[in-house]
Chain A
Amino acid sequence: EAQVTQNPRYLITVTGKKLTVTCSQNMNHEYMSWYRQDPGLGLRQIYYSMNVEVTDKGDVPEGYKVSRKEKRNFPLILESPSPNQTSLYFCASSHDRGFSEAFFGQGTRLTVV
């Protein structure tokens, strides 16, 4: 079954404590991206990756890092989380950056206190 798997689904953490949200896809897609979803703002792209070792900033990259060491995995790293990063996060993968269907993970609800 084609799927994108994110972990954890829910996370409560304290300000400044480094965390990683994992993302893995089994469709051999080259393109992967991270979004955050906030009420009234839709989904905004944080970072994206065109292929292994190729990553670039999206629209709201401040405070986040990513890596793409393997094609299937694309973790999101918050080195020093702050309360304004409280949000719902989605990982997505697709064949290309905007012309084909994107497959989304189940989401990670992050709360930073």
Chain B
Amino acid sequence: AQSVTQLGSHVSVSEGALVLLRCNYSSSVPPYLFWYVQYPNQGLQLLLKYTSAATLVKGINGFEAEFKKSETSFHLTKPSAHMSDAAEYFCALGAQKLVFGQGTRLTINP
């Protein structure tokens, strides 16, 4: 069975601080992993994607994620948060279909 768990439904950081959003997965086959972002009143858009080419994946808007097979994790980071990063973030596992985590709402404090 495939599943995705995002630790923390709500994360709050100060502007300029490190952003860390946690994602753990369970998969019986080599995983394709995605991070999507959903801004208020919009659909989801792709931030980045892991396809086994490199364990550190760089995405848009300064985000990156590191695939760690031993920890079955794919955490999303950004060195310095910006007010425009406030959104909901979804980790997803792709194989027979896309399986989404529960989502993490990121709030940026001025």
List the interface of chain A (C-beta within 8 A of B).
4, 33, 35, 40-45, 48, 58, 90, 92, 97-102, 104-107
Of the residues B36, B46, B96, contact of A98 by C-beta under 8 Å? B96
B45 on the interface (CB 8 Å rule)? yes
Contact assessment for A105 and B100 in the assembled complex, using a CB-CB cutoff below 8 Å: no
- Residue of B6, B90, B98 most packed against chain A (CB within 10 A): B98
Given contacts A40-B102, A43-B90, whether A48 and B97 have CB atoms under 8 Å apart is yes
Within 8 Å CB of B49, what residues of A?
A: 101
Contact assessment for A97 and B96 in the assembled complex, using a CB-CB cutoff below 8 Å: yes
B42 on the interface (CB 8 Å rule)? yes
A75–chain B nearest beta-carbon distance, Å: 17
Q: How far is the CA of A48 from the CA of B98 in the complex (A)?
A: 11
- Residue of A45, A104, A106 most packed against chain B (CB within 10 A): A104
List, sorted by A's number, 29 A–B pairs whose CB atoms are closer than 8 Å.
A33-B98, A40-B102, A42-B4, A42-B100, A42-B101, A42-B102, A42-B103, A43-B44, A43-B90, A43-B100, A45-B97, A45-B98, A90-B44, A97-B98, A98-B93, A98-B97, A99-B51, A100-B94, A101-B49, A102-B46, A102-B98, A104-B36, A104-B43, A104-B44, A105-B43, A106-B41, A106-B42, A106-B43, A107-B43
Quick one: CB contact mask for B3-40 with A, threshold 8 Å, 1 for yes? 01010010000000000000000000000101010000
B56 on the interface (CB 8 Å rule)? no
Contact assessment for B45 and A104 in the assembled complex, using a CB-CB cutoff below 8 Å: yes
Within 8 Å CB of B83, what residues of A?
A: none
A100–chain B nearest beta-carbon distance, Å: 8
- Residue of A40, A45, A99, A106 most packed against chain B (CB within 10 A): A99
Within 8 Å CB of B102, what residues of A?
A: 40-42
Within 8 Å CB of A105, what residues of B?
A: 43
Of the residues A33, A40, A97, contact of B9 by C-beta under 8 Å? A40
